[in-house]
Amino acid sequence: MSFFKAENLSIQFGGVKAVTNVSFEVQQGEVFTIIGPNGAGKTTIFNLISLIYPPTSGRITFEGREITGMTPHRVANLGIARTFQNIELFEHASVLQNLLIGRHNHTATRLWQELLFMPSVRRAEIEHREAVEKVIDFLDLQHHRDSMVAGLPYGVRKVVELGRALCIGPKLLLLDEPSSGLNPEETDDMAFWIEDIKKDLGVTVLMVEHDMSLVSRVSDRVLALAQGEMLSIGTSREVQSDPKVIEAYLGKPE
């Protein structure tokens, strides 16, 4: 049984083929990166995994269970967390609240208990906070704990979003362009975190990324896409030296 598997994924929007026949497997414990020029269908694959769109054909399995066709919120319950390319935080809530929402699928209290704020709810709330505090420590967010997201700089938001995904307690973490919009130092921090997430937390990472130095630094395997189709799959070095990949990025040699 493979950990995560996408088989023959295709999706069309109207007549436009966004993703055609993409298949790949992610092994438990690795960092698997999808690269490709703009419009290659990278984010679309993420959206297929989080069930934002249903695929036209193909299936996705996670730990042997098919996830295509489930109701979208169940994906998170299975242990798949994600971040978004353009940051989708809960703007009018504090960082702490954002992270606590990440703990949503660990909720065990019932509505009537919450209405009365029974001792069990109070205990659960404290447990949620202890769990979130670990993520806050891990990502150095203590300083921003009680700030409103709407007022935070871009780089911090990016980290908060990563933190929120970690609060789910994921087995598989989908990162959509973790370094976009970050300055070199912040990108460097991000690389460290991705490595730590893999080594210390034992979370498998599937990521979409443009920054090739980050890609080669953290990825175990890389998949290159162009115009929705698979070009090449292998280690970062193999993929980068593949003539088809070079052609997709730079055009045909004259």
Positions in the binding site for other proteins (CB under 8 A): 43, 47, 50, 52-53, 71-77, 81-82, 84-86, 88-93, 96-97, 100-105, 107, 109, 111, 114-117, 121-122, 124-126, 128-130, 150, 164, 168
Distance CA 128, CA 151 (A): 24
Record the tokens describing residue 175, joined without a space.
């990162």
Cα 223 to Cα 208: distance, rounded to the nearest angstrom:
10
Q: 144 or 164: whose CB is closer to other proteins?
A: 164
Taking the complex as a whole, the smallest distance from the CB of residue 114 to other proteins amounts, in Å, to 4
Residue 150, SS3 per DSSP: helix
Question: Closer CB to other proteins, residue 173 or residue 218?
Answer: 173
Closest approach of other proteins to the CB of residue 254, in Å:
33
Helix/strand/coil for 189: helix
Smallest separation, CB 37 to other proteins (Å): 17
CA distance 73 to 61: 16
Alpha carbon distance 81, 121 (integer Å) = 25
Smallest separation (angstroms) from other proteins to the CB of 143: 13
Tokens read off for 179: 């370094």
**Residue 136 amino acid letter:** I
Given a contact cutoff of 8 angstroms between Cβ atoms, the answer to whether 192 and 3 are in contact is no
Closest CA relative to residue 80, chosen from 39, 50, 119, 58: 50
Closest to other proteins by CB, 84 or 249: 84
Looking at the Cβ atoms of 90 and 138, the one nearer to other proteins is: 90
Neighbours of 167 (CB within 10 A): 24
**Shortest distance, CB of residue 15 to other proteins, whole angstroms?**
15
In this complex, which beta carbon is closest to other proteins, that of residue 10 or of residue 98? 98
Distance CA 198, CA 172 (A): 10
Which residue lies nearer to other proteins by CB, 124 or 194? 124
- Closest distance between other proteins and the C-beta of residue 250, in Å? 27
